[in-house]
């Protein structure tokens, strides 16, 4: 029987364990403000340098709100921004619980996620059952670095205190996996749960 060299499995959150879409935020913002959804859709860019700073914990939610307000050239309240922003997070994929239950007895389970102060606080409160499975939670806004930047993987490996070859990282974004693999971390790209199970079997994990 093949023995897996993996000791720890690290999961991304968005579109791996938790359903997430900024389109949900755009719809909610439009509903709350009566401003056409297209304005938010066209004006908000995830690649925005201020969004990256928000996810690194380098600016506050209020700072990001002010930046987005100026960029969109609209008049709205922070409460409206926050309500829509949190609405981007949907629900935990039910298959996540089945998989985590299979893994928890044999492996350390951890999270590594690009997120921000609002989403981080919200999901910890909303999904206590999910986060109960994890030994460590690495959020970009708390590590002051975001995937695929080298610093975030370096900090994670240092805190896990194990050889990177014993760590398996699951993410839906290929760029994030390339960044991790440069440190010797094993990687699997999440495309579907059926595909993920096949990949985990190849690692002799399940």
Q: What is the pLDDT of residues 86-132, one digit of tens each?
A: 999 999 999 999 999 999 999 999 999 999 999 999 999 999 999 99
1 pLDDT band, cuts 50/70/90, is low
pTM metric for this prediction: 0.95
Whether 2 shows a pLDDT value over 90: the answer reads: no
Mind spelling out the 3-state secondary structure of the chain?
Answer: CCCCCCCEEEECCECCCEEECHHHHHHHHHHHHCCCHHHHHHHCCCCCHHHHHHHCCCCCHHHHHHHHHHHHCCCCCHHHHHHHHHHCEEEECHHHHHHHHHHCCCCEEEEEECCCHHHHHHHHHHCHHHHCCCCEEEEHHHHCCCCCCHHHHHHHHHHHCCCHHHEEEEECCHHHHHHHHCCCCEEEECCCHHHHHHHHHHCCCC
Mean pLDDT, residues 39-60 taken together: 97
For residue 147, CA distances in Å to 4, 26, 56, 183, 191 come to 26, 24, 10, 13, 18
Residue 91: Cβ within 10 Å count:
11
What does the pLDDT look like over 164-193, one tens digit per residue? 999 999 999 999 999 999 999 999 999 999
Q: Which fold has domain 8-19+93-202?
A: Rossmann fold (3.40.50)
In this structure, what is the dihedral angle of CA atoms 120, 25, 179, 63, given to the nearest 10 degrees? -60
Q: Where are the domains of the chain?
A: 8-19+93-202, 22-87
On the question of pLDDT at 152 being above 70, the answer is yes
CATH 1.10.150.240 applies to domain 22-87 = yes
């Amino acid at each position: 029987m093949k023995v897996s060299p993996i000791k720890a499995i690290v999961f991304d959150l968005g579109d791996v364990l938790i359903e997430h879409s900024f389109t949900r935020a755009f719809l909610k913002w439009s509903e709350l403000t009566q401003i056409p959804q297209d304005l938010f859709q066209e004006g908000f860019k995830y690649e925005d340098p201020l969004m990256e700073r928000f996810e690194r914990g380098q600016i506050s939610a209020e700072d990001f709100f002010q930046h987005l307000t100026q960029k969109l050239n609209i008049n709205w309240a922070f409460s409206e921004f926050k309500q829509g922003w949190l609405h981007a997070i949907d629900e935990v994929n039910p298959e996540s619980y089945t998989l985590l239950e299979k893994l928890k007895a044999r492996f350390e389970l951890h999270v590594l996620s690009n997120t921000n102060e609002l989403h981080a606080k919200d999901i910890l409160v909303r999904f206590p059952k999910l986060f109960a499975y994890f030994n460590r939670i690495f959020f970009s806004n708390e590590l002051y670095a975001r995937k695929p930047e080298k610093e975030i993987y370096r900090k994670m490996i240092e805190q896990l205190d194990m050889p990177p070859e014993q760590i398996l990282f699951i993410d839906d974004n290929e760029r994030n996996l390339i960044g991790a693999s440069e440190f010797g971390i094993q990687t699997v790209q999440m495309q579907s749960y059926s595909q993920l199970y096949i990949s985990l079997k190849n690692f002799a994990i399940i």
